[in-house]
Amino acid sequence: MINQLLRFTPILKQKIWGGKKLNQLLHKKSDGSNIGESWEISDVDGDESVVSNGNLKGRTLRSLLKEYRHDLVGDYVYKTFGEQFPLLIKFIDAKEVLSIQVHPDDDLAGLQESFGKTEMWYVMQADNEANIIIGFKENSNKEEYIHHLNNKTLLSILNVDKVSKGDVYFVPPGRVHAIGAGLLIAEIQQTSDITYRIYDWDRKDIDGNYRELHTEKALEAIDFSAKKSYKTTYKKQKNVANQVVTCPYFTTNILLVGGKKEIDLSKKDCFVIYMCVEGEVTFFYESQQEVVRKGETILIPACIDKVEILSENSSELLETYIK
């Protein structure tokens, strides 16, 4: 039995579009500039999370999964995904707009021996006029899309939403998107690092080179249909799990925490991840006590049936697991 709550050392990623909010607002420690992502929990090859607390300190997530199996992730998850952890958990700071891009589904990604990439975003902070590019304004097709791509007018057929703190977006494979400048985001996604870059605003990297585009692969992946609205609506009741997103790859709830609360996990055949997106929450399990502050993440192994949480002030947690 894996008998402790798990914290991991963040893996910080420099990005051409990154900024300083991960350091300034979420207190991530880095001497680098343009830190765009903090990978909180990862089993991506070459970027495997390492435990930072307790008796398991120094162990990789992958080694824990090989040893503890269903005790760590649950019977269903272990049977479905084997010895690869199925989720990648991030915080993202977009000082500048990201590339317009799209992600493949499991079938397309499988050709590259990877999971597909379904993801969701929770906006933690937004500068004035910050926006997200998400989906098409109206139903489109390959011919119209290629015409606008070649003429660098793609934005004219894409939907742009002005966003603010607390907004949620679900991004299934095939949905064209770009996180806009001035956004701090919590991201939950399948374990995959595959992105098909469509357009990168003609900017160059520090070596003066344009980043690679994936025009043909993107064409195979894009869903050209439009939706009336791309923003996810959800309830905000205090001290209950308000469901935000549910799909085959993850379910995410938001907990508005005030005071002390017991969380019964006995009916979940799965690990549970908590991302603190506002305030500070203390987790209690047996003799263990972990303070999780804004911008920090904790993983509860599947074999743990009950924890208590305490917040002296109003705090917010994203709760994620797989049904």
Could you list the active site residues?
197
Bridge partners, 48 (sequence order)? 43
Q: Kindly report the backbone phi and psi dihedral angles of residue 146, in degrees, each rounded to the nearest multiple of 5, phi listed first.
A: -65, -40
* Torsion, CA 204, CA 205, CA 208, CA 211, rounded to 10: -60
Could you give the CA distance from residue 156 to residue 245 in angstroms, rounded to a whole number? 29
Q: Which residue has the tokens 């903090």?
A: 38
d(CA 311, CA 316): 9
End-to-end CA distance of the chain: 21
DSSP characters over 258-271? EEEEEEE-TT--S-
Query: How many whole angstroms separate alpha carbon 312 and alpha carbon 155?
Result: 45
**Residue of 185, 191, 186 lying closest to 73 (CA atoms):** 191
For residue 4, the tally of other CB atoms under 10 A from its CB is 20
